[in-house]
Amino acid sequence: MTTTTAALDIEIVQGFAFKVFGDLTAQQMGALTTVGDRLGLFTTLAESGPVTSSQFAVQAGVHERYAREWLAAMACHGYLTYEATTAKFDLPREHAFVLAQPESPLYLGSVFPMSQAYWKHIDLLTEAFKHGGGIPQNEFGEHFWCGFERFTAASFNNFLVQEWIPAMPSVDAALRLGGTAADVGCGNGQALLTLARGYRNASLVGYDNYGPAIAAATVNARAAGLDDRVRYELRDVTQGIPATYDLITMFDVVHDAPHPVQLLSAVAGALKPDGTCFILEFNLHGDVQRNIEHPLKLGAFGYSASLNYCMTQALAVGGEGTGTCMGEERLREVATAAGFGKIERLDFPNNPFNVFYTLNI
């Protein structure tokens, strides 16, 4: 042992080494979870109950040798259980709720495919670290957007019309009577489709400045049979919104916006006198120490998501690069600068990953 090594607390070194090794394992398991998502392997397990690898291979339609190794990896990682006496693997119901049920409010099986874009962009991200700029939105591709759509749809389907909108009684009443709502940064359009099912008299429009998202949203509305009541429009809303609304929603949009004050100023100008802006953001802080001490341990997720997408895509177009860890203080600063006089935070116990705000003029 060298003098330098002898000066170290080897237990701390080993403990940290195993943490890093655990991170490496999680990274490798992410690829296998993505394969499982693509092939519906978790759904097969949820439907089958305890199975051997050969039984599972037949039911899932995959090669037995790959099935055996995949099942073993998932069991060692704690995603599956294993009974040695029967050589059977099982997906617990509670785990299926997270990995195999897209309608679940805690469904996370869709997020693993999004990391494909992150690894694809390693060279671009490295260059951005050295020279500034960022990775533009159009680089992220189908797997990223499909994963994000599936991830967010679960919350919309479970909470949007059941809890979130009813928490704003005047908005709820207006929409039931045929009021108007716009979703800014609508992406593939799932929020408005959920609103359309819950508020059949409302007039609904989605705005996004990303052409492929608008195209996908239009297809989704047609497939849902709601294209007669929901429309989507390609628009940079910072250049103006051509109507006024009872409700304008922004779901995980403000922290992504290249110029958030300009964005919220346009939104303020498009609200009816008694209209409301409803914002969803991640439950994170603008302060590093608070994120380190986050009770849900979300800090590393927030900063890594920021670097891999949220901040970098804003910097790519000359934006401010607010980032995922915007926090309540910054949101209030931006909203006040945009002309909002009343800013209230809403907390929903069933949504610990998010915080919500209502903004009124």
Which domains occur in the chain, in start order? 3-101 (1.10.10.10), 117-360 (3.40.50.150)
Q: 310 with 324: CB under 8 angstroms?
A: yes
Question: At residue 88, does pLDDT exceed 70?
Answer: yes
Distance CA 140, CA 156 (A): 23
Question: At residue 60, does pLDDT exceed 80?
Answer: yes
| Percent over 70 (pLDDT), the chain | 98
Give the pLDDT mean for 61-74: 98
Token pair belonging to 341: 């006089």
| Distance set, CA 142 to CA 34, 41, 288 (Å) | 14, 21, 32
Question: At residue 262, does pLDDT exceed 80?
Answer: yes
pLDDT digits (tens, 9 = 90+) for 124-160: 999 999 999 999 999 999 999 999 999 999 999 999 9
Taking alpha carbons only, the member of 294, 359, 348, 12 closest to residue 159 is: 348
Question: At residue 268, does pLDDT exceed 70?
Answer: yes
Distance CA 55, CA 75 (A): 16
What is the pTM assigned to this prediction?
Answer: 0.94
- Mean pLDDT (the chain, rounded): 96
Question: At residue 1, does pLDDT exceed 90?
Answer: no
Residue 5 has a pLDDT of: 65
Residue 175 has a pLDDT of: 98
Question: At residue 3, does pLDDT exceed 70?
Answer: no
Three-state DSSP class for residue 146: helix
Q: DSSP assignment of 202-252, as one string?
A: -EEEEEES-HHHHHHHHHHHHHTT-TTTEEEEE--GGG--SS-EEEEEEES
Confidence band, pLDDT 50/70/90 cuts, at residue 21: very high
Residue 2 has a pLDDT of: 54
Residue 346 has a pLDDT of: 96
Q: 254 with 263: CB under 8 angstroms?
A: yes
pLDDT digits (tens, 9 = 90+) for 326-353: 999 999 999 999 999 999 999 999 999 9
Residue 4 has a pLDDT of: 62
How many other C-beta atoms are found inside a 10 Å radius of the C-beta of residue 102? Answer: 13
